[in-house]
Amino acid sequence: MRLDRFLAHSGFGTRSEVKRLIKKGLVKVNGKQAKSPDLKIDEDKDVVQVGEEIVELQKRVYIMMNKPQGYVCSNDDPLSPTIFSLIPENLKYRNLHTVGRLDKDAEGLLIITNNGEYTHKVISPKKHIEKEYIVKLEKELNREKIKVFEDGVVLDDGYKTLPAKYTILDDFTVSLTIYEGKYHQIKRMFESIGNKVVYLKRVRIGRLKLDENLNPGEYKVLDELDAFSVFE
């Protein structure tokens, strides 16, 4: 890996910022002053220092974001802003992807990582990871019709969902917990009982809850203990 990329990935700034650190003579590799940002290093063997600090690359990254409405979860979209535009460059270079998706008009808990195995386990229906949402509806909830969610409901394409749990918060608001993530699943579930979702917010995945101190568009880096709490 190039030295400037290694330092950017380790949180020392953008590529241009770490190049300035190298130019100022503040970076050493194996005890010798680094002279070039494109110096190739072995991140497992070489010792990199910035000043007196030894740099250790965190290979796996886990980010919690409070996704705002109006943003898409793809890495690139010509028509809409993506959630990756909210992440600084030193993290963007980590080959990040979202763990599942939230619709453009949805908001709330979104996990972003570069650990593909972790993502597969979180989104796999076989793992039965709970995903909790706050759902607001256009029309007053029919309390009899929603009972079909308990056994699974047949969507417009004939797919029957896994059984879901729900708590009625008021006549127009439901806390809904599902165990899978089909395309527009929650919207289609409510459409199947004659209602329409007007607001959708994910608040929990497994035991990992959205940090309510995060405003829409804000994020924080998780340690592995928090990230893997989704499986507990």
Which residues are part of the catalytic machinery?
103
CB-CB contact of 227 with 211 (8 Å): no
Name, in order, each residue with C-beta under 8 angstroms of 50's C-beta and a sequence gap of 6 or more.
7, 12, 21, 26, 27
Residue 66 CA to residue 217 CA, distance in Å, equals 6
> Beta 197-205 vs 107-113: how paired, if at all?
parallel
CB-CB contact of 104 with 69 (8 Å): yes
CB-CB contact of 173 with 134 (8 Å): yes
